[in-house]
Chain A
Amino acid sequence: MKCQRGEPVSWLRLELYGLGELPEAEAREIAEHLAACGACQACFERTALPAPPLGLPLPAAKPRRVAWRAHAVWAAGSVVSAALGAWLLWMPSQGDLAGRPGSRASVKGGDMSMELLRLDAQGRQLAATHFAPGDRFKVSLSCAAEVAPEASVLVFQAGQTFVAMPPHALGSCGNHRTLPGAFRLTGESAAEVCVVLSDPGGAAALANAREKAALPEPHACALLAPEPSP
Protein backbone atom coordinates (compact mmCIF):
# COMPACT_ATOMS: atom_id res chain seq x y z
CA MET A 1 0.00 0.00 0.00
CA LYS A 2 2.30 2.74 -1.24
CA CYS A 3 1.88 6.42 -0.57
CA GLN A 4 0.70 8.11 -3.72
CA ARG A 5 2.54 11.33 -3.02
CA GLY A 6 6.03 9.95 -2.53
CA GLU A 7 6.72 10.32 1.17
CA PRO A 8 3.98 9.05 3.51
CA VAL A 9 2.67 11.06 6.44
CA SER A 10 4.12 9.29 9.45
CA TRP A 11 1.88 7.67 12.03
CA LEU A 12 3.05 10.16 14.67
CA ARG A 13 2.04 13.11 12.52
CA LEU A 14 -1.29 11.46 11.68
CA GLU A 15 -1.98 10.99 15.40
CA LEU A 16 -0.98 14.59 16.21
CA TYR A 17 -3.13 15.80 13.31
CA GLY A 18 -6.11 13.85 14.65
CA LEU A 19 -5.51 15.29 18.13
CA GLY A 20 -5.35 18.81 16.72
CA GLU A 21 -1.84 19.33 18.06
CA LEU A 22 -0.11 20.39 14.85
CA PRO A 23 0.55 23.98 13.82
CA GLU A 24 -2.05 25.24 11.38
CA ALA A 25 0.23 25.29 8.34
CA GLU A 26 1.37 21.73 8.92
CA ALA A 27 -2.20 20.56 9.50
CA ARG A 28 -3.23 22.11 6.18
CA GLU A 29 -0.39 20.31 4.39
CA ILE A 30 -1.51 17.00 5.84
CA ALA A 31 -5.14 17.64 4.94
CA GLU A 32 -4.08 18.25 1.33
CA HIS A 33 -1.94 15.13 1.33
CA LEU A 34 -4.76 12.96 2.70
CA ALA A 35 -7.16 14.31 0.10
CA ALA A 36 -4.85 13.05 -2.64
CA CYS A 37 -3.50 9.81 -1.12
CA GLY A 38 -5.67 6.80 -0.38
CA ALA A 39 -2.92 4.92 1.45
CA CYS A 40 -2.29 7.69 3.99
CA GLN A 41 -6.00 8.39 4.30
CA ALA A 42 -6.56 4.72 5.17
CA CYS A 43 -3.94 5.01 7.90
CA PHE A 44 -5.52 8.18 9.24
CA GLU A 45 -8.89 6.44 9.41
CA ARG A 46 -7.30 3.79 11.62
CA THR A 47 -6.34 6.47 14.11
CA ALA A 48 -9.98 7.42 14.37
CA LEU A 49 -11.19 3.89 15.12
CA PRO A 50 -12.43 3.26 18.68
CA ALA A 51 -9.49 2.25 20.85
CA PRO A 52 -9.62 -1.09 22.63
CA PRO A 53 -10.18 -0.96 26.42
CA LEU A 54 -7.07 0.66 27.78
CA GLY A 55 -6.98 -0.12 31.45
CA LEU A 56 -6.50 2.94 33.61
CA PRO A 57 -3.38 2.81 35.78
CA LEU A 58 -4.74 5.15 38.43
CA PRO A 59 -2.29 5.96 41.21
CA ALA A 60 -2.76 3.56 44.14
CA ALA A 61 -4.29 4.96 47.33
CA LYS A 62 -1.78 5.62 50.12
CA PRO A 63 -1.60 2.49 52.29
CA ARG A 64 -2.09 2.69 56.04
CA ARG A 65 1.12 2.07 57.91
CA VAL A 66 0.66 -0.76 60.37
CA ALA A 67 2.96 -1.30 63.34
CA TRP A 68 4.69 -4.63 63.13
CA ARG A 69 6.54 -6.62 65.73
CA ALA A 70 8.88 -9.37 64.76
CA HIS A 71 7.25 -12.83 64.44
CA ALA A 72 3.74 -11.42 64.88
CA VAL A 73 1.02 -12.23 62.38
CA TRP A 74 -0.96 -9.28 61.11
CA ALA A 75 -4.58 -10.02 60.24
CA ALA A 76 -7.07 -7.67 58.60
CA GLY A 77 -10.68 -7.96 57.62
CA SER A 78 -13.16 -10.37 59.06
CA VAL A 79 -12.94 -14.13 58.81
CA VAL A 80 -15.95 -15.56 57.03
CA SER A 81 -16.97 -18.93 55.73
CA ALA A 82 -15.12 -20.64 52.91
CA ALA A 83 -18.27 -20.40 50.79
CA LEU A 84 -17.97 -16.61 50.79
CA GLY A 85 -14.18 -16.72 50.64
CA ALA A 86 -13.94 -13.08 51.71
CA TRP A 87 -11.13 -13.15 54.22
CA LEU A 88 -7.57 -12.06 54.13
CA LEU A 89 -4.73 -13.15 56.34
CA TRP A 90 -1.50 -11.26 55.99
CA MET A 91 1.49 -13.54 56.48
CA PRO A 92 4.76 -11.64 56.61
CA SER A 93 8.09 -13.07 55.58
CA GLN A 94 10.98 -13.07 58.02
CA GLY A 95 11.75 -9.71 59.49
CA ASP A 96 9.65 -6.65 60.09
CA LEU A 97 6.74 -5.97 57.85
CA ALA A 98 4.40 -3.04 57.52
CA GLY A 99 1.76 -2.24 54.99
CA ARG A 100 -1.73 -2.69 53.87
CA PRO A 101 -2.71 -6.29 53.31
CA GLY A 102 -2.86 -7.50 49.75
CA SER A 103 -1.29 -4.44 48.23
CA ARG A 104 1.97 -3.75 49.93
CA ALA A 105 4.64 -5.67 51.76
CA SER A 106 7.95 -4.47 53.10
CA VAL A 107 10.87 -6.43 54.39
CA LYS A 108 12.84 -5.18 57.34
CA GLY A 109 15.38 -2.51 56.59
CA GLY A 110 13.47 -1.40 53.51
CA ASP A 111 15.59 -3.73 51.36
CA MET A 112 12.54 -4.58 49.32
CA SER A 113 8.91 -3.68 49.09
CA MET A 114 6.26 -4.81 46.67
CA GLU A 115 2.98 -3.33 45.49
CA LEU A 116 0.31 -5.18 43.57
CA LEU A 117 -1.81 -3.28 41.09
CA ARG A 118 -5.14 -4.94 40.35
CA LEU A 119 -7.11 -4.00 37.23
CA ASP A 120 -10.49 -5.49 36.41
CA ALA A 121 -11.65 -6.43 32.90
CA GLN A 122 -12.83 -2.85 32.34
CA GLY A 123 -9.47 -1.46 33.37
CA ARG A 124 -10.60 -0.05 36.70
CA GLN A 125 -8.19 -0.25 39.58
CA LEU A 126 -9.47 -2.23 42.54
CA ALA A 127 -8.09 -3.00 45.97
CA ALA A 128 -5.50 -5.73 45.59
CA THR A 129 -6.91 -7.77 48.47
CA HIS A 130 -9.01 -10.07 46.30
CA PHE A 131 -9.07 -11.48 42.81
CA ALA A 132 -11.89 -12.18 40.34
CA PRO A 133 -12.12 -13.65 36.83
CA GLY A 134 -10.81 -11.16 34.27
CA ASP A 135 -8.59 -9.27 36.72
CA ARG A 136 -4.99 -8.55 35.78
CA PHE A 137 -2.27 -7.99 38.33
CA LYS A 138 0.92 -6.02 37.87
CA VAL A 139 3.82 -5.87 40.27
CA SER A 140 5.81 -2.83 41.28
CA LEU A 141 8.78 -3.25 43.54
CA SER A 142 11.32 -1.08 45.28
CA CYS A 143 14.62 -2.49 46.36
CA ALA A 144 18.13 -1.40 47.20
CA ALA A 145 20.53 -1.16 44.29
CA GLU A 146 22.86 -3.77 45.69
CA VAL A 147 20.33 -6.58 46.07
CA ALA A 148 20.15 -9.56 43.72
CA PRO A 149 19.28 -8.47 40.20
CA GLU A 150 16.58 -10.92 39.03
CA ALA A 151 12.92 -10.73 40.10
CA SER A 152 10.43 -13.61 39.82
CA VAL A 153 6.77 -13.75 40.74
CA LEU A 154 5.40 -17.00 42.17
CA VAL A 155 1.93 -17.94 43.32
CA PHE A 156 1.22 -20.57 45.97
CA GLN A 157 -2.33 -21.84 45.78
CA ALA A 158 -4.05 -25.02 46.93
CA GLY A 159 -0.74 -26.75 47.54
CA GLN A 160 0.63 -25.92 44.10
CA THR A 161 3.30 -23.50 42.93
CA PHE A 162 2.87 -21.41 39.78
CA VAL A 163 5.35 -19.15 38.08
CA ALA A 164 3.14 -16.13 37.49
CA MET A 165 5.76 -14.07 35.74
CA PRO A 166 9.08 -15.30 34.38
CA PRO A 167 12.36 -14.02 35.85
CA HIS A 168 13.04 -10.45 34.91
CA ALA A 169 16.53 -9.01 34.94
CA LEU A 170 16.35 -5.78 36.87
CA GLY A 171 19.74 -4.43 35.97
CA SER A 172 19.89 -2.28 39.02
CA CYS A 173 16.99 -1.98 41.43
CA GLY A 174 15.47 1.27 42.61
CA ASN A 175 12.13 2.74 43.52
CA HIS A 176 8.83 1.57 42.14
CA ARG A 177 10.13 -0.59 39.31
CA THR A 178 7.08 -1.98 37.54
CA LEU A 179 7.81 -5.44 36.23
CA PRO A 180 6.84 -5.95 32.58
CA GLY A 181 3.87 -8.20 32.05
CA ALA A 182 0.86 -9.06 34.10
CA PHE A 183 -0.80 -12.18 35.45
CA ARG A 184 -4.24 -13.43 36.37
CA LEU A 185 -5.44 -15.43 39.34
CA THR A 186 -8.18 -18.02 39.11
CA GLY A 187 -9.65 -20.68 41.33
CA GLU A 188 -11.58 -20.75 44.56
CA SER A 189 -8.68 -20.90 47.00
CA ALA A 190 -6.71 -18.06 48.47
CA ALA A 191 -3.53 -17.35 46.52
CA GLU A 192 -0.24 -16.15 47.96
CA VAL A 193 1.67 -13.96 45.51
CA CYS A 194 5.38 -13.73 46.21
CA VAL A 195 8.09 -11.67 44.57
CA VAL A 196 11.56 -13.13 45.00
CA LEU A 197 14.87 -11.56 44.16
CA SER A 198 17.67 -13.89 43.14
CA ASP A 199 20.96 -13.96 41.30
CA PRO A 200 20.84 -14.62 37.57
CA GLY A 201 19.99 -18.26 36.98
CA GLY A 202 18.73 -18.69 40.52
CA ALA A 203 15.10 -18.45 39.52
CA ALA A 204 15.03 -21.97 38.08
CA ALA A 205 15.15 -23.51 41.56
CA LEU A 206 12.28 -21.38 42.81
CA ALA A 207 9.62 -23.35 40.95
CA ASN A 208 10.44 -26.29 43.26
CA ALA A 209 9.46 -24.31 46.33
CA ARG A 210 6.20 -25.64 47.71
CA GLU A 211 5.59 -22.87 50.20
CA LYS A 212 6.67 -19.38 51.06
CA ALA A 213 8.88 -20.58 53.89
CA ALA A 214 11.12 -22.29 51.33
CA LEU A 215 11.82 -19.06 49.47
CA PRO A 216 15.21 -17.42 49.78
CA GLU A 217 15.61 -13.86 51.02
CA PRO A 218 14.75 -11.28 50.03
CA HIS A 219 11.15 -11.89 49.14
CA ALA A 220 7.78 -10.31 49.86
CA CYS A 221 4.36 -11.93 49.74
CA ALA A 222 0.72 -10.97 49.77
CA LEU A 223 -2.24 -13.26 50.35
CA LEU A 224 -5.30 -12.63 48.22
CA ALA A 225 -8.74 -14.16 48.51
CA PRO A 226 -11.18 -14.91 45.72
CA GLU A 227 -13.81 -12.19 45.38
CA PRO A 228 -17.01 -13.28 47.08
CA SER A 229 -19.92 -14.03 44.74
CA PRO A 230 -22.61 -11.32 44.69
Chain B
Amino acid sequence: MQAYLRYAPALQRKAERILQNREDAQDVVQTLFVDLLQDSADVPDLAYLYRAVTNRCLNMLRDKATRARLLSRHDVALRGPVRTSCEDRTIDLDLLTKLSGTLDQEHAEVLVFHYFDDMSQSEIAELLGLSRKTIGVRLARIRSLVANLVGDKRGES
Protein backbone atom coordinates (compact mmCIF):
# COMPACT_ATOMS: atom_id res chain seq x y z
CA MET B 1 0.00 0.00 0.00
CA GLN B 2 2.86 2.41 0.78
CA ALA B 3 4.32 1.72 -2.64
CA TYR B 4 0.98 2.56 -4.21
CA LEU B 5 0.70 5.88 -2.38
CA ARG B 6 4.31 6.67 -3.24
CA TYR B 7 4.43 5.75 -6.92
CA ALA B 8 0.88 5.98 -8.21
CA PRO B 9 0.98 9.76 -8.84
CA ALA B 10 4.09 9.38 -11.03
CA LEU B 11 2.54 6.47 -12.90
CA GLN B 12 -0.72 8.36 -13.30
CA ARG B 13 1.15 11.28 -14.88
CA LYS B 14 2.94 8.90 -17.22
CA ALA B 15 -0.23 7.11 -18.32
CA GLU B 16 -1.92 10.49 -18.85
CA ARG B 17 0.93 11.60 -21.13
CA ILE B 18 0.36 8.56 -23.32
CA LEU B 19 -3.42 8.15 -23.25
CA GLN B 20 -4.35 11.81 -22.68
CA ASN B 21 -7.36 10.68 -20.73
CA ARG B 22 -7.44 10.95 -16.95
CA GLU B 23 -9.92 8.20 -16.22
CA ASP B 24 -8.25 5.65 -18.48
CA ALA B 25 -4.88 6.53 -17.00
CA GLN B 26 -6.27 6.02 -13.51
CA ASP B 27 -7.66 2.70 -14.60
CA VAL B 28 -4.31 1.52 -15.94
CA VAL B 29 -2.55 2.37 -12.69
CA GLN B 30 -5.24 0.88 -10.46
CA THR B 31 -5.39 -2.33 -12.46
CA LEU B 32 -1.62 -2.64 -12.37
CA PHE B 33 -1.51 -2.38 -8.60
CA VAL B 34 -4.47 -4.70 -8.09
CA ASP B 35 -2.64 -7.29 -10.20
CA LEU B 36 0.65 -6.73 -8.40
CA LEU B 37 -0.92 -6.99 -4.95
CA GLN B 38 -2.60 -10.22 -5.88
CA ASP B 39 0.64 -11.75 -7.14
CA SER B 40 2.94 -10.70 -4.35
CA ALA B 41 3.27 -8.39 -1.35
CA ASP B 42 6.52 -6.97 -2.84
CA VAL B 43 6.15 -4.10 -5.23
CA PRO B 44 8.86 -3.45 -7.81
CA ASP B 45 10.70 -0.16 -8.16
CA LEU B 46 9.49 2.81 -10.17
CA ALA B 47 11.55 1.93 -13.23
CA TYR B 48 9.90 -1.48 -13.47
CA LEU B 49 6.46 0.07 -12.92
CA TYR B 50 7.16 2.65 -15.63
CA ARG B 51 7.74 -0.18 -18.07
CA ALA B 52 4.60 -2.01 -16.94
CA VAL B 53 2.48 1.12 -17.45
CA THR B 54 3.99 1.62 -20.89
CA ASN B 55 3.03 -1.86 -21.99
CA ARG B 56 -0.47 -1.63 -20.58
CA CYS B 57 -1.08 1.69 -22.32
CA LEU B 58 0.22 0.28 -25.60
CA ASN B 59 -2.07 -2.73 -25.24
CA MET B 60 -5.01 -0.38 -24.79
CA LEU B 61 -4.07 1.52 -27.92
CA ARG B 62 -3.98 -1.69 -29.90
CA ASP B 63 -7.65 -2.27 -29.22
CA LYS B 64 -9.61 -0.70 -32.04
CA ALA B 65 -12.64 0.34 -29.98
CA THR B 66 -10.52 1.81 -27.18
CA ARG B 67 -8.38 3.63 -29.69
CA ALA B 68 -11.41 5.27 -31.30
CA ARG B 69 -12.80 6.24 -27.91
CA LEU B 70 -9.51 7.76 -26.74
CA LEU B 71 -9.05 9.70 -29.95
CA SER B 72 -12.56 11.12 -29.75
CA ARG B 73 -12.15 12.60 -26.30
CA HIS B 74 -8.51 13.07 -25.45
CA ASP B 75 -7.23 16.08 -23.52
CA VAL B 76 -4.15 17.47 -25.24
CA ALA B 77 -3.13 19.31 -22.08
CA LEU B 78 -2.40 15.97 -20.40
CA ARG B 79 0.42 15.34 -22.88
CA GLY B 80 2.43 17.90 -20.95
CA PRO B 81 5.48 19.83 -22.18
CA VAL B 82 7.08 18.10 -25.17
CA ARG B 83 10.85 18.20 -25.15
CA THR B 84 11.62 15.43 -27.65
CA SER B 85 10.22 15.60 -31.15
CA CYS B 86 10.59 13.20 -34.05
CA GLU B 87 11.40 14.57 -37.51
CA ASP B 88 10.48 18.01 -36.14
CA ARG B 89 7.10 16.72 -35.12
CA THR B 90 5.46 16.03 -31.80
CA ILE B 91 4.22 12.48 -31.58
CA ASP B 92 0.63 13.14 -30.60
CA LEU B 93 -2.02 10.55 -29.73
CA ASP B 94 -3.13 10.19 -33.32
CA LEU B 95 0.40 9.46 -34.55
CA LEU B 96 1.07 7.20 -31.58
CA THR B 97 -1.96 5.05 -32.35
CA LYS B 98 -0.88 4.70 -35.97
CA LEU B 99 2.67 3.84 -34.98
CA SER B 100 1.69 1.37 -32.24
CA GLY B 101 -0.48 -0.46 -34.76
CA THR B 102 2.54 -0.91 -37.04
CA LEU B 103 5.44 -1.36 -34.66
CA ASP B 104 6.09 -4.47 -32.64
CA GLN B 105 6.15 -4.28 -28.84
CA GLU B 106 9.93 -3.80 -28.64
CA HIS B 107 9.92 -0.80 -30.94
CA ALA B 108 6.74 0.67 -29.48
CA GLU B 109 8.26 0.57 -25.98
CA VAL B 110 11.34 2.44 -27.17
CA LEU B 111 9.12 5.00 -28.90
CA VAL B 112 7.24 5.73 -25.70
CA PHE B 113 10.37 5.88 -23.52
CA HIS B 114 12.11 8.30 -25.88
CA TYR B 115 9.32 10.53 -27.17
CA PHE B 116 6.91 10.50 -24.22
CA ASP B 117 9.25 9.97 -21.28
CA ASP B 118 12.22 11.89 -22.78
CA MET B 119 14.67 9.13 -21.93
CA SER B 120 18.06 9.11 -23.60
CA GLN B 121 19.28 6.11 -25.57
CA SER B 122 21.58 5.16 -22.69
CA GLU B 123 18.77 5.34 -20.18
CA ILE B 124 16.49 3.21 -22.34
CA ALA B 125 19.27 0.70 -22.92
CA GLU B 126 19.83 0.38 -19.18
CA LEU B 127 16.11 0.04 -18.48
CA LEU B 128 15.61 -2.67 -21.07
CA GLY B 129 18.93 -4.46 -20.55
CA LEU B 130 19.97 -3.86 -24.15
CA SER B 131 22.88 -2.18 -25.87
CA ARG B 132 22.80 1.49 -26.76
CA LYS B 133 23.36 0.47 -30.37
CA THR B 134 20.21 -1.66 -30.40
CA ILE B 135 18.19 1.25 -29.08
CA GLY B 136 19.73 3.48 -31.75
CA VAL B 137 18.69 1.04 -34.48
CA ARG B 138 15.12 0.89 -33.15
CA LEU B 139 14.89 4.66 -32.97
CA ALA B 140 16.14 4.94 -36.54
CA ARG B 141 13.35 2.62 -37.68
CA ILE B 142 10.80 4.68 -35.75
CA ARG B 143 12.05 7.89 -37.33
CA SER B 144 11.84 6.33 -40.77
CA LEU B 145 8.28 5.20 -40.13
CA VAL B 146 7.27 8.64 -38.87
CA ALA B 147 8.84 10.26 -41.92
CA ASN B 148 6.83 7.93 -44.18
CA LEU B 149 3.59 8.56 -42.31
CA VAL B 150 4.08 12.29 -42.27
CA GLY B 151 5.22 12.27 -45.88
CA ASP B 152 2.13 10.26 -46.90
CA LYS B 153 -0.12 12.74 -45.16
CA ARG B 154 1.57 15.69 -46.84
CA GLY B 155 1.20 13.92 -50.17
CA GLU B 156 -2.53 13.49 -49.55
CA SER B 157 -3.03 17.15 -48.72
**Interface residues of A, Cβ cutoff 8 Å to B:** 1-3, 7-13, 15-16, 19, 21, 39-40, 42-43, 46-47, 51-52, 54-59, 117, 119, 138, 140, 166, 175-176, 178, 180-182
Contact = CB atoms under 8 A, between A and B. Distances in A.
A119 B23 CA distance: 13
A8 to B, nearest CB: 4
Contacts of A140: 34, 38
Nearest to A175: B38
Contacts of A7: 120
Interface SS, B side: helix
Given A10-B119, A11-B17, 5 more contacts: A12-B47, A12-B123, A54-B8, A58-B1, A138-B34
A47 B30 CA distance: 19
A6 to B, nearest CB: 10
Nearest to B1: A58
A166 B26 CA distance: 18
Given A10-B123, A138-B30, A178 B35 contact: yes
**For this complex, into which size category does the number of interface residues on chain B fall?**
35 or more
Contact of B83 (A13, A40, A119, A181): A40
A190 to B, nearest CB: 26
Contacts of B38: 59, 140, 175-176, 178
Contacts of B59: 180
Interface in B73-126: 80-84, 116-120, 123
Given A3-B83, A39-B83, A43-B81, A8 B12 contact: no
B4 A12 contact: no
A56 B26 CA distance: 10
Interface in B20-60: 22, 26-31, 33-35, 37-38, 46-47, 50, 56, 59-60
B117 A180 contact: no
Nearest to B24: A181
B63 to A, nearest CB: 8
